Amino acid sequence: MRLKMVRDRELVKMYVSGNDKALAELIRRHKDRVYTQIYLFVKDDILAEDLFQDTFIKVIETLRRGKYYEDGKFLPWVLRIAYNLCIDHYRKVKRTPTITNNDGYDIFKVLKFSEDNAEQTMVKTETCTKVRNLIDQLPQEQREVVILRHYAELSFKEISQITNVSINTALGRMRYALINMRKLITEKQIVI
Amino acid sequence: MTSGFTSNDLLRYVYGETSVEETLSIECSLNSNWNLKEQLEELNSSVNILDKFKLRSPSDSSIEMIMRYNNKARAEELETSF
């Protein structure tokens, strides 16, 4: 059976029944979205890798104990776990994510632009860094919605459930995030 | 906002979260409502900026670590079942 064609729901059942390849496929399918969400929250590659591993360990534990109930989609459930682990992390270190002026040095490590020449790679990397800096400068609540909606691709309804706000509040935060981004671009004359 | 749509409606439209009826209604209004069209273009241009940050991948070693954890848990489960 070609696992790439199998739906998440079926893969979960297959994994619970003992097929580890189904787990590998679930991870392959969703790893970038989950990792990017964590990375944008914590802004640190090493910490993001740790939290990514913790997320899937929690997924494995929950599935193996038969505690996963198909009341929603698999990916939103995983993203919720990742989100909660990020929140827990900041509670533990007793600080909230800070606004940083990132110099973008670490982006070279992970982004894969092997098909491009050096100049194209540099331009893409700079653009990515500029966008990430913009996101980092948003108020925390707005930043959160941007990450969850745009990169994790959760619906506004799912975001409202995860963050315990109304759908309209989630939508409003996203709107203000986009407005604030445009303001920052204008004020700081950023070219993207 | 004019034409009965709120800014939130337009944002839901940009992210493909409007119902078929809402989508048709918004698209119909866009043909005649310049103000609405302008707002949509503004929203789209902001969203396009976000698109320029590409998804990142975890390291292969993270994936391997997760699979090793799973294999270990599987083995322990087998041991206890005998």
The model's pLDDT over A49-60, given as tens digits with 9 standing for 90+, comes to 999 999 999 999
Q: Which carries the bigger pLDDT value, residue A21 or residue A117?
A: A21
Under an 8 A CB cutoff, do A32 and B55 touch? yes
Among B41, B51, B56, pick the best mutation site for testing chain A contact (most A Cβ within 10 A). Answer: B56
The residue of A29, A127, A148, A171 whose CB has the most chain B CBs within 10 angstroms, and thus the best one to mutate to test that interface, is A171
Instruction: List, in order, residues 6 or more apart from B42 with CB less than 8 Å away.
Output: A182
CA distance B70 to chain A (A): 7
The answer to whether A35 and B56 have CB atoms below 8 angstroms apart is yes
Q: Which long-range contacts (CB under 8 A, 24 or more apart) does A13-16 make?
A: A15/A63, A16/A63, A16/A64, A16/A66
Instruction: Give the span between the Cα atoms of B28 and A31, in whole angstroms.
Output: 39
From first to last of the 82 residues of chain B, give the pLDDT tens digit. 446 888 999 999 999 999 999 999 999 999 999 999 999 999 999 999 999 998 999 999 999 999 999 999 988 877 777 6
| Helical residues (DSSP H) of B5-59, grouped into ranges | 7-14, 20-32, 34-51
What value of ipTM does the predicted structure carry? 0.85
Tallying the residues shown for chain A, one arrives at 192
- Residues A63-87: pLDDT tens digits? 999 888 866 689 999 999 999 999 9
A45-64 vs A8-16: helix crossing angle, rounded to 10: 70
- Return residues 76-105 of A near B (CB < 8 Å): none
* Interface contacts A/B by beta carbons within 8 Å: 99
Give, for A146, the enclosing helix (H) or strand (E).
Answer: helix A140-146
Cβ within 8 Å, pair A36-B55? yes
pTM, two decimals, is: 0.81
